[in-house]
Amino acid sequence: MLLLADKVVFLTGGTEGIGFECAKVYQRAGANLCIISNDPRSISHAKLQLSEGITEFVLADVSSSREVRYAIMHCLEIFGKIDVIHNNAGISNPSKALHETSDEEWHKLFEVNVGGIYHTTFHGIDALKKSGGNILNTGSLVGEIGQEIHAAYTATKGAVNALTKSMALDYAPFGIRVNAVAPAGVITPLLRAWSQQQPDPDSAEAYLNNIHALGYCPEGDVIADACLFLISDMARFVTGCILPVSGGAELGYKKLSSKQNHFHDL
């Protein structure tokens, strides 16, 4: 039996990285997808690989309430309902200490990483109340343990953790579950390219492997499998959970040497 048969998933940031892996897994599990992205090129690429399923793409920026409202309305017009909102879209730049972070950089991170959740919930909660659906947020392990030279980014992910728990309490009376996944390092095309640009790519790869107790940095599919569990009825009594999908990295995040740069999940 397909875990998401006849379900409609509203997925932000679903055309690349972890979000794209989620889109593929959700589609194989029987879901109809409404994928939101602000990148026309990545939408075109994703269309080619997700052509077999029932998938709708919407060009929209999650930091814009107006654009998210349009995306939610479009999804409802096409599919008639929304069963899951997966807030995956996010940004990570800049890699700076707090005093080096500009006002513009600070606000942009919060507008996307936290504001996106606000916008999809504000405009989509009525649909979830009707369907008895659930919400999944893509967080990060660094929202719990912190990370050097990523103050603003980790602040947004810490906010996602707290927001997830508060939302779980607020929407439990409606039968709506709210959870989050918290990856550590995740190999995506963007992170591969970034690593190859470093002075010592071999050391970069070793670092990414070594921060995980299981000894390797995973592909995005391992995160997608955990996400599938959380949005499916298999997790029907799970809410307010911040699920580490981190290979044990939270048991002791190793520090980089001063000659290396700093990594985050991408």
Catalytic residue at 253? no
* pTM, entire model: 0.90
pLDDT 10s digits, 85-123:
999 999 988 888 999 999 999 999 999 999 999 999 999
Residue ranges covered by each domain of the chain: 8-185+218-248
DSSP for 240-258, written as a single string: S-EEEESTTGGG-PPPPPT
The encoded tokens of residue 235 equal 């997790």
Q: Which residue has the higher pLDDT, 67 or 53?
A: 67
Residue 130 confidence (pLDDT): 98
Q: Which residues pair with 177 in a beta bridge?
A: 134
Considering only CA atoms, which of 68, 73, 86, 70 is closest in space to residue 9? 86
Helix, strand, or coil (residue 201): helix
Buried b / exposed e over 68-91, threshold 16 CB at 10 Å, is bbebbebbbeebeebbbbbbbbbb
Residue 252 confidence (pLDDT): 66
Nearest-angstrom CA–CA distance, 74 and 124? 11
Q: What is the DSSP letter of 93?
A: -
Residue 4 confidence (pLDDT): 97
The encoded tokens of residue 111 equal 């507008």
Single-letter residue type at 111: E
On the CB side of 210, how many CA atoms lie within 13 Å of its CA? Answer: 10
Q: Which fold has domain 8-185+218-248?
A: Rossmann fold (3.40.50)
Considering only CA atoms, which of 108, 124, 127 is closest in space to residue 36? 124
Show the beta-strand stretches assigned E in 131-216.
134-138, 177-183
Residue length of the chain = 266
Task: Pick the catalytic residue from 153, 171, 207, 216.
Answer: 153
pLDDT 10s digits, 215-254:
887 788 999 999 999 999 999 999 999 999 988 888 865 5
Q: Which residues pair with 219 in a beta bridge?
A: 187
pLDDT at 197 over 60: no
pLDDT 10s digits, 7-21:
999 999 999 999 999
Ramachandran category for residue 64: left, alpha or beta (phi over 0 → left; psi -120 to 50 → alpha): beta
Q: Which residue has the higher pLDDT, 195 or 6?
A: 6
